[in-house]
Amino acid sequence: MRLKSYYALVCCLSLIAFLKVTAQEIQLISNQPIEFDEATKQMIATGEAQLTYGDLILSANRIVYNQENGIANGEGNIRISQEGYRFLAERIRININTQEVEAFDVRFGSPPLYAEAESATGSNKRIELHNAHVYYREPDKFTPKMSIETFVVENGEVLNGERVLFEILGLPIWYLPSLKVPSDIEPFRIRAKLGTRGNLGLFAQSQILFPMAEHWYAGGNLDLYSERGILFGPAFRYLNETENSNSDWVLSTGYISDGGDRGINIFGEPVDRDRYFFEGFLNQNWDDKSQLFGVYHLYSDPEIRRDFHFDDFFDNQQPDNFLEYRFQERDWSISAFLRANPNNFFTSELLPFSELLTNQAYVFEEKLPEVRFDLHPIHLGGGFYHELSLSAAQNGHTFYLTDQKEREDFTSFDGFYRIQKTISLREGATLNFFGGIRAVELSNVPTALIQTESGDLFSLPYPQFHPGMHATTPMDLLNVQKNDFSQVIGDLGFIFQGEFFRTWKTKNNTWKIDELKHVAKPYLEFRHNPAAKDHGLGYNSDFLYVQDTNLPNLDMATRRDTSFAGEQTLARIGLKNDLLTKRKDYGSRQLYSWDLATDYFFDGPFEDDMSFLYSEISASPAPWLEVGMFQRISGDDWQIAEWNSRIRLKDAHIWYLEYRHSIADLHEGFGYLDSSLFPDSGNMFPFLDVDQHSLEFETLLNRNFRLGMLLRYDFVLKEFTEQHYSLFQKFGRSVELEYRLTLRENAAREDDWAFRIGLELISF
């Protein structure tokens, strides 16, 4: 909600006060004869009367205008509009000479803001609305509103309210003696849930935020659990948007003395009775060049969000803590990135095979901080461009073992430079040549001595520069050593890309097809990455391909594993296909796309020469049908290693049905799994096979009710792991209740069933 729009609606009243007879001519017209009283100098218009002054239009059933004193009175069905804004009243009195206005039974608004007041008085400097009701959607008895005894606009810029009462469902829930209405934010936010869950008992949850001043909001979390106690904590928000800067800071907190069955956390440790959380974010921008952004999540234990605020947990299961400042110029930028680990734990599930290992080590990579300079691609002349990036970081690691915790720090310096040239070929093809170099210097790098199940020893350096790799992989860790090393690796090659198309004069009214256009974009990427020397650790990283089933990133400028990368030479071959048709209004509509890609290694860290074949298909031949598929196929035996599919049928906002299917033979590798480390990985991890199905359905029963369902079935476990059955009930235009029954199997901490009623304000 922009404050300027808010003012414009209210200031429609004050616009009348700017009438000046000497500047513009007043006209009075009607579909009935206009009477003129010579004695009183009054013009009387009835029927469909209209008084105009410039772009101001006043319409009413009766308008009386006195030429001597410049006073106009209107009665019945009054409508005033100017510059696209409009308000209504039953009676109005305008004194053009004194620039004063008085109106009764006033109504005005523009989506999503509507308001009504018993009366309004004032001039061009100040307008007061008395006994006003402000709604944040079209008014009805369920729409949230503010009842304001005196509603003031000064100079068309400052909006004040006195004795402000907030109401929801007709019930008073918040009162302020005075309020300067904030800008660009909803007036208040409320979420509430009622229900029952086995280990929580009966529960009631609420999260609220209300305005306290022009830019400040305050509220909090208040939850009641019959089996656990009371969770409570304050919450704050600061929001200030100006022409040159934007500020948005949020903090939400909670504390509970948990008297229920808390169990153990993911590390096998008992959960303490005193539990708390602090979470939020900050976003500050200055002049479109500087930005400060961060998120913070401080928890007493890794399970508190999952136990109590389970919806928030499933939206973000691995919350982070970081702060980044960035200054951006046209050709360069500088940034400082801080990532800390105040929780001293990692919120991730133990994998099932952790029982096979003695010490369950977890790491969290900290940046304390990392400072980076980037020179964006700049034209050197002759079609050549160059780019540069430099960074220095103080890195920290905390190793979490079953019986101890170790903290290790090291420093790193990283630099990358590349020069490139793009040549345009015939038929829309391009050829991009590039040559670059990446250099890394690390000091006191912690290196873990690890023993495999077969008794073999190997050294594994940290960090692995792959997100989440050792955050979720336990190891049999014997000790941690320190090493210094440097690495210089080149990046030489070219990228060829062509673009070809063909059109067909085809029409089909059923599928709404008006001509077809097929666009094919074949590409070939060749890279040679020579290493200046071996880093001396006896270990070459293949983590670029580990745990990431998507097409891996090959660009040395953005790869995160280059510190430990070895030499490799490879070619990536791909083909992108798009099938398009004309839109009825403008542009084109994509009917179908199919992207194929695979890597061939002339020299690399793997025994196999060919990587997986990656295939991604999406289709929407009609507005009511969407299809998507992603496949990862082994290049050795041409077996499908991963399959993700999605089919969605819909009828506008009336109903939709969506089916999803995921298959993965993860023991064949998370992309790749180093066979030298796990020679019997197929037998070691048989439970990593995935075959999951889900079905989601929602339909509108009538204007007030809709029905929803979500089913998840696991063919490996041979059971429904999750079921949700929901009935949504809408009250008016702004409030919706959800009645949900949830059934689960084999959940780590959730009970087998739960029921809840949730309230959401859908105005915002």
Name the segment(s) of the chain with CATH classification 2.60.450.10. 3-180
Burial of 268 (0-12, 13-18, 19+ CB in 10 A): exposed
| Fold that domain 3-180 belongs to in CATH | lipopolysaccharide transport protein A fold (2.60.450)
The amino acid present at 565, given as its one-letter code, is A
Which pLDDT score is estimated for 360? Answer: 42
Q: In the predicted model, is pLDDT for residue 249 greater than 90?
A: yes
Length of the chain: 764
Beta bridge partners of 641: none
Per-residue pLDDT of 393-408, as tens digits, reads: 998 876 655 455 667 7
Q: What is the DSSP letter of 544?
A: G
Q: In the predicted model, is pLDDT for residue 496 greater than 50?
A: yes
Which pLDDT score is estimated for 109? Answer: 65
At 21, give phi and psi (nearest 5°): -60, -35
> Comparing 473-482, 494-503, 526-535, 551-560, which segment has the lowest mean pLDDT?
473-482
Task: Specify the higher pLDDT residue, 596 or 731.
Answer: 596
Radius of gyration of the chain (CA): 33
Residue 17, both tokens: 């006060």
Rounded Cα–Cα distance for residues 356 and 345 (Å): 21
753 near 742, Cβ under 8 Å?
yes
> Comparing 322-336, 515-529, 747-761, which segment has the lowest mean pLDDT?
747-761
> Comparing 205-219, 221-235, 409-423, 546-560, which segment has the lowest mean pLDDT?
546-560
- DSSP H or E stretch at residue 314: helix 310-315
Rounded Cα–Cα distance for residues 236 and 570 (Å): 53
Q: What value does the mean pLDDT of the chain take?
A: 79
Q: Between the CA of residue 753 and those of 21, 597, 724, 741, what are the distances in Å?
A: 73, 44, 10, 7
Q: In the predicted model, is pLDDT for residue 178 greater than 70?
A: yes
Q: What is the DSSP letter of 12?
A: H
Rounded Cα–Cα distance for residues 43 and 69 (Å): 12
Rounded Cα–Cα distance for residues 283 and 534 (Å): 43
Q: What percent of the chain has pLDDT above 70?
A: 76
Q: In the predicted model, is pLDDT for residue 99 greater than 80?
A: no
pTM of the predicted model as reported, rounded to 2 decimal places: 0.76
**What's the whole-number mean pLDDT along residues 349-378?**
65
Which pLDDT score is estimated for 431? Answer: 95
Rounded Cα–Cα distance for residues 750 and 723 (Å): 13
**What's the whole-number mean pLDDT along residues 619-637?**
88
Cis amide linkage into residue 111, ω under 30° from 0:
no
500-508 vs 290-299, strand pairing mode: unpaired
Which pLDDT score is estimated for 687? Answer: 46
Which pLDDT score is estimated for 6? Answer: 41
At 14, give phi and psi (nearest 5°): -75, -20
Which pLDDT score is estimated for 380? Answer: 93
Residue 63, both tokens: 């308008």
Which pLDDT score is estimated for 186? Answer: 61
Which pLDDT score is estimated for 415? Answer: 95
Q: How confident is the model at residue 763 (pLDDT cuts 50, 70, 90)?
A: very low
Q: Which segment, 95-109, 418-432, 669-683, is predicted with the most confidence on average? A: 418-432
Q: In the predicted model, is pLDDT for residue 467 greater than 50?
A: no
* Residue 457 CB neighbours (<10 A): 10
Q: How confident is the model at residue 279 (pLDDT cuts 50, 70, 90)?
A: very high
Q: How confident is the model at residue 17 (pLDDT cuts 50, 70, 90)?
A: very low
Rounded Cα–Cα distance for residues 169 and 192 (Å): 13
In the three-class reduction of DSSP (H, G, I as helix; E, B as strand; rest coil), residue 584 is classed as: coil
**What's the whole-number mean pLDDT along residues 265-284?**
88
Beta bridge partners of 523: 497, 574
> Comparing 41-50, 67-76, 337-346, which segment has the lowest mean pLDDT?
337-346
> Comparing 18-22, 23-27, 59-63, which segment has the lowest mean pLDDT?
18-22
Q: What percent of the chain has pLDDT above 90?
A: 33
In the chain, the largest separation of any two C-alpha atoms, in whole Å, equals: 115
Which pLDDT score is estimated for 185? Answer: 52
Q: In the predicted model, is pLDDT for residue 427 greater than 80?
A: no
